[in-house]
Structure 1
Amino acid sequence: MTRLSVNINKVATIRNARGGNNPNVVQVAMDAERFGAQGITIHPRPDERHITTKDVYDLKKVVSTEFNIEGFPDERFMEILNDVRPDQATLVPDPPNVLTSNAGWDTIKRAEELKPLIDQIKQMGIRVSIFVEPEVDIIEGAKALGTDRVELYTEMYATAYKESPEKAIKNYAEAAQKAHELGIGINAGHDLDLENLNYLVKTIPYIDEVSIGHALICDALYYGLENTIQLYLRELKI
C-alpha cells in the first residue's frame, strides 16, 4: 500500500499567526503518527513562515516513522540535512520567495547543479527524492542523476481531475511507468485530496508514498485529525 506522509507545514502556519506554541507542532506530529500516519513531512523555508529551524531539530527527537524534509538545496538546507539526517530529503526547485512549490526540476538543464548535491546527500545516508513534472525525458534525466526517488508534482493532475480523470492521469501514468522500469522509487504530492487520491494510486499502484498537507489539514477542521488520517489511509487502499 502507498504510504501516507502528513505534511505539517500548515499546522506551523496557524501557530505562527499568533506566536506562542498553539497548536504544538511537535505534539501534532506525534499524534499524527499515533493516528496512523506513516511519515511526517516538513519544509523549513529560510523565512520560517511556517516550519522553523528549531522545529526541525525538535521534530527529529520525536518522529518515529519516516522523517521527510523538503527544501531548496542551498547551503542552509544542506547544513540542516547534515545535522538532522532525516530518512528522506526531497529537493524542490523553488527559490525562497515563492508561496508554494509550483514547478519541478529540469533534470537535464540543471544536471550539473543537481548531481553533486544528490551525491552529497546520499553520502550522508539519506534517501534522495527530487520534485519533477510528469515527463518521460525528465524521468530519464533523474535516473542519470542517481536520485533514489522522484516526487511527481500532482497539481496539474488535481486541476484536471474534475473534468476527466483519464486525461488527467495520462502523463503521470506514463512518467511513473518509466520511473518504475528504470528502478526509481515514486512519490507524489501537491493538491492531492480525498476526491482524487484513490484514482491516482489505483492507476499507478507502485507509488511508494504520497505527501499531503494542505487538504488534509483543511479536512481535519471538519472531521478531526484522527478521523481525517484514517480517511486518507482508506483512500490509499487498492
Structure 2
Amino acid sequence: MTVLSVNVNKVAVLRNSRGGQAPDVVRAARTCLDAGAHGITVHPRPDARHIRADDVLALAALCREYGVEFNLEGNPFAPPREGYPGFHALCAQALPAQATLVPDGDGQLTSDHGFDFAADGARLRPHVAALKALGCRVSVFVDPGDPGVAEAAAVGADRVELYTGPFAEAFAAGAPDPAAACAESARLAQAAGLGVNAGHDLSQANLGAFLAAVPGVLEVSIGHAVIDEALYAGLDATVRAYLRILAAA
C-alpha cells in the first residue's frame, strides 16, 4: 500500500504568523501519527518562513519515538545562513529516514519544479553520496513528463518524487487523462530501478484518481490539503480519511 507522510509546514506558517508556540507543530504531528499516518514530512527553508531547525530536531525525535519515517526536504545547494545550518548539516543532526532534494529558492512561494539533470546532475552526485553515507534514503524532486527522469539513478538517488501540481490543476479543470505525464515518468523511473513518491496539491478529491492512474507509488507526502480539510473536519478525521483512500487504491 502507498504510505502517507503528512507535511506539517502549514502548522508552522500559522504559528509564525503570530509568534509564540501555538499552534504546536509537534503536537500536530503527534495527532497525525496517532491517527495512523505513516510518517512526517517537513521542508525547512533557509529563510525560516515556517519550519525552523529546532522543529526539525523535535520532529525527528517524535518520529523515532513512534518508529515511523521522517522525511526531510530541502535544497542541497542552498548555503547556510543564520538560523539555517544547511540541508546536509540538518540531515546530519536529524538523521531522517529519507532526504528529499528539491531545487527551490527563497523567492518561490512553494516548490514548483523538479531538477534539470543535464544542468544539475554533476552537482547533485556528491550531495546524494554524502546523504546516503548518513544512512538516508535519497529522493529527488522531478517534473512529470521529463524524459530524463531516469537520470536520477545516475546521480545515485534511490527514489524520485513526482511533482503533482500540474496533475492537480489538470484534474480540477476536468482534463482527459490528467495523470498521463506522471504515469509515464513513473514507468521510466521504475524501469531504471527507482522507487516513486509523489507530492504537491494532492487532496482527498484527486488522490484516488492519481493512484489509480500511476501504479506503484510508494509514498505520498501531503500537507496543504490536509491542513485545509482539517479546518472543517479536524486533523484526526482528515488523516483517517486519507488512509481510507490509500487502503482502497
What TM-score range do you get, normalising by the shorter chain? over 0.9
Once the two structures are superposed, residues 137-162 of structure 1 have per-residue CA deviations (whole angstroms, 9 ceiling, x without a partner) of 22121121120000000000000013
Question: How far apart, CA to CA, are the structure 1 residues paired with 2:176 and 2:182?
Answer: 10
Q: Normalised by the size of structure 2, how large is the TM-score?
A: 0.92
Partners of 2:173 and 2:50 lie apart in 1 by: 33
User: Of 121, 136, 140, which aligns to 1:130?
Assistant: 140
Specify the code of the residue in structure 2 equivalent to 1:130: V
Match of 1:71 among 61, 71, 74: 74
User: Are 2:30 and 1:36 equivalent residues in the alignment?
Assistant: no
Partner of 2:217, secondary structure, is coil
Task: Give SS of 2:150's match.
Answer: helix
**Where does residue 227 of structure 2 map in the other structure?**
217
Listed as ranges, the matches of 1:75-154 within 5 Å are 75=79, 76-154=86-164
Aligned with residue 229 of structure 1, among 231, 234, 239: 239
Equivalent positions of 1:15-34 (< 5 A) are 15-34=15-34
Q: Give SS of 1:51's match.
A: coil
User: After the TM superposition, which segments of 4 or more aligned residues of structure 1 sit over 4 Å from their partners?
Assistant: none
Matched, 1:176 2:182: no
The TM-score normalised by the length of structure 1 is: 0.96
Amino acid across the alignment from 1:143: A
**1:50 partnered with 2:50:** yes
Q: How far does residue 82 in structure 1 lie from its aligned partner after superposition?
A: 1.1
Cα pair 1:131 1:153 within 8 Å, conserved: yes
SS at match of 2:58: helix
Is contact 1:136–1:178 with CA below 8 Å preserved after alignment? Answer: no
> CA separation in 2, counterparts of 1:66 and 1:11?
19
Partner of 2:60: 60
Letter in 2 for 1:36: G
Q: Which amino acid aligns with 1:215?
A: A
Aligned residue number for residue 208 of structure 2: 198
Distance in 2 between the 1:4 and 1:121 partners? 23
For residues 200 and 17 of structure 1, the distance between their equivalents in structure 2, rounded to whole angstroms, comes to 33
DSSP 3-state at the match of 2:201: coil
Q: CA deviation at 1:216?
A: 0.7
Instruction: List alignment gaps of at least 5 residues for structure 2.
Output: 80-85
* TM-superposition CA deviations, 1:180-228 (whole Å, max 9, x none): 2221010000000111100111122310000000011000000000110
SS of the aligned residue for 1:167 comes to coil
Retained in 2: the 8 A contact 1:140–1:179? Answer: yes
Aligned length, in residue pairs: 238
Once the two structures are superposed, what CA deviation does each residue of 1:43-71 show, in whole Å capped at 9, x if it has no partner? Answer: 11111111011111111221121100111
Distance 2:31 2:42 in 1: 15
Q: Structure 1: where are the runs of 5+ without partners?
A: none
Aligned AA (1:107): F
Three-state SS of the structure 2 residue aligned to 1:139 is: coil
Q: Which range is displaced more, 226-235 or 133-142?
A: 133-142
SS in 2 for 1:83: helix
**2:14 alignment counterpart:** 14
The alpha carbon displacement at 1:4 in A equals 0.5
Q: What is the aligned-residue RMSD (CA, Å)? A: 1.2
